[in-house]
Amino acid sequence: MDYLEIEGGCKLSGNVTISGAKNSALAVIAATILSDKEVTLTNLPNVVDIRTLLKLLTMLGAKVEHNDTVAKIDCSTISSTRAVYEIVAQMRASILVLGPLLSRFKHCEVSLPGGCAIGQRPIDLHIKAVEALGAEVTLEQGYVVAKAEDGLKGNKIIFDKITVGGTENALMAAAMADGVTEIVNAAKEPEIVQLSEMLNMGGAKVEGIGTGRLKVHGTNGKPLDFSEPVEIIPDRIEAGTYLCVGAITNSEITLDKVNVEHIQTSIEKLEAMGCDFYIKNDSVTIKPVAELKGVNIVTTEYPGFPTDMQAQFMAVATLASEDSLIEERLFENRFMHVSELNRLGADIWLKGNVAAVRPVKELIGAEVMATDLRASSALVIAALAAKGTTKIRRIYHLDRGYDRLEEKLSNIGAKIVRKKS
Ligand code: UD1
């Protein structure tokens, strides 16, 4: 199995080009199911999760041509509406095919995603959303079976809890429904904005984009027509991760092709820790800082501090000069990186959903294990600052979501190699 070997303590410098956002790309790929014509997607990140969803579409009968950052997807040939366990178990986000399959084909079967390393992560809100639009949903032998023989009908969907994936499924289900759907307490993440704009381009009409109250005028069964290529927005989590790399290694790093607004909370938290930035158009430079201050973080929905940046900031906080407090409000079990960071010499204490990070003078390389996608990147960040060599195992988690990680880090001077054990 592959592992990463990182020699820490190097000062880094140079530019990193940020790839397309994995999470946005996943929703956009799912939305191509709503069309019976070829759709072109550009700026896709070259990561395993994208290939997994494209494989699922192929298994459903779609024609997919994929080459690095570009995919041409033709869903006119879909002949099956069953998303099998083999794929859904690999990637939870496969549940995103529920809304579009049901909307276009009036039935579908999607395997239940099963356990997940960062908590229980149920899909009850996805199911309630399509039920509100008239679908009949049953659970049969591990599959969510959804039917709407007369097609979905516009209605009000009120989410008890803000859910990114649930909002995406609701939007895609409503896009081809008959009538108007109102989505209350919708997520406002940039990924939702991109998906809404794509649906508008395809012929549905989404109003209230970027707010918690979305109104979708469905096409009453008419497939969408995405005549323009969809360019995936920059990955705000990848960008935030490289900012954390700059902060912990006291380096000057410039990120190119970012959307500065999308990474505002990460920039503000790093400013609170003492970091300086130079921002010009779509590039951001983080300046070296001799001493990092402590930080207090509470993860919340966008535009608040993203849960997907929590682990990376914890890694940076280990070497601050003051205590930090990090509260995780979205996922109940998203602290698996704590014990691994402590193996590198960090001093982190957990109580419930709050982590107290006490500063240490140095981190020291060790063998550690990646546990989920963002936890893995926290280990990379810590390893880049640690004295000596760190081996990170189970890096298939990183490959799910970080495009060309070793290449991007090597280009700015990091000593990082992928090896086989
Ligand atoms: C998406 C992101 C993930 C990010 C998360 C929160 C993708 C592919 N993944 O995940 O990287 O960490 O948003 O920003 O875009 N919940 C329920 N029932 C449901 C659905 C969700 O209780 O049916 C709960 C979850 O357990 C969690 C909270 O709602 O506590 C938010 O989850 P949600 O926003 O749905 O996350 P995902 O869409 O799975």
Q: Whose CA is nearest to atom 37 of ligand 1?
A: 165
Asked if 108 is an active-site residue, the reply is no
For the CA of 330, the closest atom of ligand 1 is 30
For residue 341, give the nearest of 315, 371, 313, 307 by alpha carbon: 315
Residue 64: how many CB atoms within 10 A of its CB? Answer: 18
Q: Model-level pTM?
A: 0.97
- The sign of the torsion formed by the CA atoms of 307, 187, 97, 31 equals negative
Percent of the chain past pLDDT 90, that is, above it, reads 94
Q: Collapsing DSSP states into helix, strand and coil, what is residue 220?
A: coil
So what's the pLDDT on residue 116?
Answer: 54
339-377: per-residue pLDDT in tens? Answer: 999 999 999 999 999 999 999 999 999 999 988 899 999
Pocket of ligand 1 contains residue 116 by CB under 6 Å = no
96-129: per-residue pLDDT in tens? Answer: 999 999 999 999 999 988 655 555 678 999 999 9
63-73: per-residue pLDDT in tens? Answer: 999 999 999 99
Q: How far apart are the first and last CA of the chain?
A: 6
Q: Please tell me the total number of residues recorded for the chain in this structure.
A: 421
Distance CA 253, CA 391 (A): 24
So what's the pLDDT on residue 83?
Answer: 97
The pairs formed by 410-415 with CB atoms below 8 angstroms and a separation of 24 or more are 411/14, 411/15, 411/16, 412/12, 412/13, 412/14, 412/15, 412/16, 412/251, 412/253, 413/10, 413/11, 413/12, 413/13, 413/14, 414/6, 414/10, 414/12, 414/384, 415/6, 415/7, 415/10
For the CA of 374, the closest atom of ligand 1 is 11
Q: Collapsing DSSP states into helix, strand and coil, what is residue 343?
A: helix
The DSSP 8-state label assigned to residue 123 in this structure reads -
Percent of the chain past pLDDT 70, that is, above it, reads 98
Pocket of ligand 1 contains residue 123 by CB under 6 Å = yes
41-68: per-residue pLDDT in tens? Answer: 999 999 999 999 999 999 999 999 999 9
What confidence tier does 273 reach under pLDDT thresholds 50, 70, 90?
A: very high
The DSSP 8-state label assigned to residue 274 in this structure reads T
So what's the pLDDT on residue 332?
Answer: 80
Residue 37 has pLDDT above 80, yes or no: yes
323 neighbors 333 (Cβ within 8 angstroms): no
| Partner residues linked to 158 by β-bridges | 184
Q: What is the mean pLDDT of the chain?
A: 96
79 neighbors 108 (Cβ within 8 angstroms): no
So what's the pLDDT on residue 120?
Answer: 65
How far is residue 230 CA from its own chain's centroid? 18
| Residue of 137, 161, 331 to mutate, ligand 1, most atoms within 8 A of C-beta | 161
| Residue of 24, 47, 56, 121 to mutate, ligand 1, most atoms within 8 A of C-beta | 121
281-299: per-residue pLDDT in tens? Answer: 999 999 999 899 999 999 9
Pocket of ligand 1 contains residue 66 by CB under 6 Å = no
For residue 271, give the nearest of 258, 259, 284, 283 by alpha carbon: 284
Q: Which of 10, 75, 108, 116 is catalytic?
A: 116
